[in-house]
Structure 1
Amino acid sequence: MTCSLNGPMTVNELAVRLQVAPTTVSLLVGDLSRKGILERCEGEADRHRRIIGIAADQQPAITAWLAPGAAAWRKAPAP
């Protein structure tokens, strides 16, 4: 499991970062998990804590999809 920007996160961490309700993130994560895009695993310190990350086999496609936007954001503040 990997994530191109900030590594795997909990549903609550994703909700804060996306500024949406945790229930919304949980529903989206459920849908993307069923499609094999995201993976959920137990936290190392707390087995009840669920960590969400991009499925390893999906990482190249996600990176390619995000690359144009990331390049634009790197160029935007340049002189």
Structure 2
Amino acid sequence: MDRVLRYTGIFVFIGWTIAILVNFPIYQYTTKQATLFHPIVDGVLFMAIMLVIYFVIIKLYKNKQSFASIGLAFLGVISLAMAFYYYIA
């Protein structure tokens, strides 16, 4: 099961990277906000951060399920707060 979870995360990362490269003209056109580096680099870095979070949550879940639940709840609250902040700004 560990291998399935690991490969799922890696394949999603690779698929996201391929999708962003193939659809770059559409992605660049719809990205109106200032990017940190370049739209492709920012997209790949974002997905890499998501991959790291995915692996951390899996590791937390294996050690203690309550820590994983608290971590996911914390990340969810932060994500909602950031979305609300950017919606208002």
Please give the TM-score of this superposition, normalised by the length of structure 2. 0.32
Structure with greater helix share of residues = 2
Structure with greater strand share of residues = 1
